[in-house]
């Protein structure tokens, strides 16, 4: 079986490297210490590249990576990735949006407290200058102060909640969210940006793009209170640094807490000359816990992408993400995984794909179909690049009949999708749903009730519902040193389906032994 090549272009936590090394059919190329010119030669036959901020995914990189399926940015920001260029080439761009949420949130609170109490300056005077002058360090309290939060995503919302615990008056501005997301947390919401500019303290938590670069400049600062405190632990350049410098120097801004800069490393930045600024060297994700989560999630996402199983947190989907509710995305990923699973039950040519949906998710059938096509055809199109951008085109080229249907909600599930794939030899149908916002579950396989996560290595055995079958299967697996990690059983109409999760791959000779069990009808080994 062909190995999928994953190139790690920048330094990530060892935990992610360990996952890549231990995964079968993955070839890890660790190129974090290679100069960027040599890197261009290394990625020429890579399937996936994992990057951080040190590698620019630009024209040269994309031109060199002729076989790239995906780019995984091990972190939140994608300033260094040419997303449009990737999209034109059918390369999926993914990031890790939540792994550093707590780290960045807590750093923001650290800067806020440091600014209002001037802790670094007081520390320096006592420790380095050996001066004990308490009267020099009268600070203020967060209690009762008005905090303006620009951007109410993963980090901004958590900063707001923590600020409320200090009994601050918190208001947020974010034109891309439903105001109920804030008000449900007892946070005031405004659509008037001037309301933010009138706050005592302002912290910014937006992505860096054409809309947000320099969004706080001279004009905005002049509308602020005298003595305002500004915090930026998001992306460099969201505050105009020239305006920031001028107004810190004049005292219009009393103090600022800055973790990110327009150009990094910022060792020569003029802001460092000022006494009323507290700075850190882009430490938003620098906790042991955060680096572990970023690395392991990046590795897992890269493995899924290399196999075509899924593209978690894809940023250049062929749908306008600003127009879909958050609950939709997990269903898109689930539809791809279900179709990928079905494609392994019968590997003959796909003739038709049918998707039925019930509940609110039924409004997104076209998008579900796109993801389903990618999952269904990944294994059969090894020599052709397949992704969300070209999936429908390739399906039509393959003369695959595509059918979508909205059905009335008659089940106990709020939302449910059912995918049926017909091949040259058979038809298989699997249904799934999402629990607790993002927990994926397969709930039906060919009419057998089931409850499994679509992940890992699985043995599927259909058999006559007679005693002893499970024991026979278990003995064969045990005799071949294959460990069972979980077991699920579905029954109906005198038959049974066993889904056995295992820790190791099951070779063909073992499959054949199981097929020879008298009561066995079908035996399939699948990996997701």
Q: Residues with catalytic annotation?
A: 235, 264, 282
CA dist., res. 413 & res. 436, Å (int): 12
Phi, psi dihedral angles at 61 (to 5 degrees): -65, -50
Would you say 494 and 469 are in contact if contact means Cβ atoms under 8 Å apart? no
Query: For residues 478 and 467, is the Cβ–Cβ distance under 8 A?
Result: no
Q: CB-based contacts of 411: which residues, under 8 Å, 6+ apart?
A: 358
How many CB atoms neighbour CB 209 within 10 A?
Answer: 10
Listed in sequence order, the residues at least 6 apart from 377 whose beta carbon sits closer than 8 Å to its beta carbon are: 343, 350, 386, 391, 394, 395, 398
What is the b/e burial string over 87-103, where b = at least 16 CB atoms within 10 angstroms of the residue's CB? bebbbbbbbbbebbbbb
Structure tokens at 497: 């389906």
220: CB partners within 8 A, 6+ apart: 193, 197
In Å, how far are 260, 344, 360, 403 from 334, measured between CA atoms? 36, 16, 15, 18
Residues 277, 104 contacting (CB under 8 angstroms): no
Query: In this structure, how many other beta carbons lie within 10 angstroms of the beta carbon of residue 433?
Result: 24
Q: What is the 3-class SS of 476-510, one letter each residue?
A: HHHHCCCCEEEEEEEEECCEEEEEEEECCCCCHHH
Place of tokens 């749908």: 319
Q: Are the C-beta atoms of 173 and 216 separated by less than 8 Å?
A: no
Residue bearing tokens 């923590």: 162
**Contact assessment for residue 3 and residue 45, using Cβ atoms and an 8 Å cutoff:** no
Query: Quick one: tokens of 440?
Result: 């994926």
The upper half-sphere exposure of residue 308, i.e. CA atoms within 13 Å in the direction of its Cβ, equals: 24
Would you tell me the crossing angle of helices 101-117 and 119-127 to the nearest 10 degrees? 70
User: Is residue 115 within 8 Å of residue 256, measured between CB atoms?
Assistant: yes
């Amino acid at each position: 079986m062909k190995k999928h090549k994953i190139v790690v272009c920048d330094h990530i936590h060892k935990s992610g490297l360990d996952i890549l090394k231990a995964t079968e059919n993955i070839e890890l190329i660790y190129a974090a210490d290679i100069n960027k010119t040599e890197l261009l030669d290394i990625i020429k036959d890579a399937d996936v590249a994992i990057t951080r901020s040190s590698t620019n995914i630009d024209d040269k990189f994309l031109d060199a990576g002729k076989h790239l399926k995906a780019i995984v940015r091990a972190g939140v920001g994608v300033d260094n990735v040419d997303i449009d260029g990737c999209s034109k080439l059918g390369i999926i761009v993914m990031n890790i949006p939540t792994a550093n949420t707590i780290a960045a949130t807590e750093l923001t609170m650290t800067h806020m407290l440091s600014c209002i109490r001037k802790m670094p300056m007081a520390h320096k005077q006592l420790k380095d200058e050996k001066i004990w002058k308490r009267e020099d360090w009268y600070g203020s309290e967060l209690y009762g102060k008005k905090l303006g939060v620009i951007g109410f995503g993963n980090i901004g919302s958590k900063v707001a909640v923590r600020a409320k615990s200090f009994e601050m008056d918190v208001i947020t501005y974010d034109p891309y969210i439903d105001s109920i997301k804030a008000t449900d947390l007892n946070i005031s919401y405004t659509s008037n940006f001037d309301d933010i500019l009138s706050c005592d303290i302002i912290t910014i938590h937006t992505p860096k793009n054409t809309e947000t670069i320099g969004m706080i400049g001279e004009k905005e600062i002049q509308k602020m209170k005298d003595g305002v405190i500004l915090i930026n632990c998001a992306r460099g350049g969201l505050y105009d640094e020239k305006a920031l410098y001028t107004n810190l120097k004049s005292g219009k801004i009393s103090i600022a807490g800055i973790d990110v800069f327009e150009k990094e490393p910022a060792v020569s930045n003029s802001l460092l000359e000022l006494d009323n600024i507290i700075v850190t060297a882009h430490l938003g994700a620098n906790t042991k816990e955060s680096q572990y989560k970023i690395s392991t999630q990046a590795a897992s996402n890269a493995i899924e992408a290399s196999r075509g199983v899924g593209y978690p947190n894809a940023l250049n989907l062929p749908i306008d993400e600003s127009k879909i509710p958050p609950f939709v995305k997990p269903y898109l990923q689930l539809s791809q995984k279900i179709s990928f699973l079905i494609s392994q039950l019968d590997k003959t040519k796909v003739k038709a794909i049918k998707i039925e949906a019930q509940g609110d998710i039924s409004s997104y059938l076209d998008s579900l179909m796109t993801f389903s096509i990618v999952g269904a055809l990944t294994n059969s199109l090894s020599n052709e690049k397949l992704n969300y951008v070209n999936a429908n085109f390739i399906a039509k080229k393959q003369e695959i009949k595509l059918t979508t249907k909205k059905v009335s909600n008659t089940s106990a599930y709020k939302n449910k999708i059912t995918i049926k794939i017909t091949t040259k030899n058979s038809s298989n149908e699997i249904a799934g749903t999402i629990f607790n916002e993002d927990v994926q579950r397969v709930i039906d396989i060919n009419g057998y009730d089931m409850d499994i996560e679509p992940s890992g290595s699985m043995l599927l055995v259909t058999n006559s519902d007679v005693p002893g079958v499970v024991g026979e299967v278990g003995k064969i697996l045990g005799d071949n040193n294959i460990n069972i990690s979980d077991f699920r059983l579905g029954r109906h109409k005198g038959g049974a389906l066993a889904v056995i999760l295992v820790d190791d791959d099951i070779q063909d000779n073992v499959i054949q032994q199981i097929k020879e069990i008298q009561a066995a009808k079908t035996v399939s080994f699948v990996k997701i």
